[in-house]
Amino acid sequence: MLTFKRKAMYGSVKVTFPEEIWGLMQLRHLKQPEFYLPNPPSVSADKGSHMGFSNIQTVSYLCSDCYTKEVILGIQNAKELGIIGNVIDSMSIRDFGLHNNLVYLQQLETLSFSCCQNRVLPASAKAFPATLKKLKLDGTFLNWSYLDIIAELPNLEVLKLMDDACDGDEWHQNVKGFTLLKLLLIEDNHLKYWKATDDNFPVLERLMIRSCKDLKEIPIEFAEIHTTAD
């Protein structure tokens, strides 16, 4: 079995997979609107080794309450990961340090957070996989200042901020960064005042702004960049 996928439907409920799913060793794509993945079973008597999806490429959308080291190691070969959360799940994430487990995904290129509180996201750039190229934040209600952490990701090329990804109306970038960022999308956020310099986006090729009706103006530093706004 290579792909397990179910289309999103209105009112979809969280799918809870049994432990036996880890026996699908050839699984490559696991896609659900929202699903719970239990810790993989041990494969040794001392419980120091666990089963995993050695061929997995895509996992989306994994509930934030199964953000454990065992699960992350079980999907460590994934190149694309989506995480979905809620207030109840996120309360224990940072308390147990589970938000630092993403660093084990050393082949991850695309990462999405949906409806996750700031407790779920890593507290430093070093806790993200260094291989990350694309990041989407959707309904995360982060402080705009959190993007100073995102700016430090060394290989990030695409950043999408959607549906109240950030909370507040001012974005003042305080650090140089986004050194490889080529595309920035800001959609349906309440951003009003935005200050940036040339040092913030040195190689940006495309800026897309959608449904940001409160934004007073686009920084003059983006005058030479292909920009679309609606």
By the 10 Å C-beta count (0-12 exposed, 13-18 middle, 19+ buried), 166 is classed as buried
In eight-state DSSP terms, residue 106 is: T
Query: What is the rounded CA–CA span in Å between residue 207 and residue 16?
Result: 39
CA angle 79, 82, 87 (to 5 degrees): 150
Say how many CA atoms lie within 13 Å of 29 toward its Cβ: 6
Query: What is the rounded CA–CA span in Å between residue 150 and residue 164?
Result: 16
Query: Which residues of the chain register pLDDT less than 70?
Result: 1, 3-12, 45-48, 86-98, 118-119, 230
Q: What is the reported pLDDT for 9?
A: 45
Q: What is the reported pLDDT for 10?
A: 45
Question: Is the preceding omega at residue 61 within 30 degrees of 0, hence cis?
Answer: yes
For the entire predicted model, the pTM comes to 0.90
Q: What tokens were used for 154?
A: 């060394």
Q: What is the reported pLDDT for 67?
A: 81
Q: What is the pLDDT of residues 23-32, one digit of tens each?
A: 998 999 999 9
Q: What is the reported pLDDT for 144?
A: 96
Q: What is the reported pLDDT for 173?
A: 87
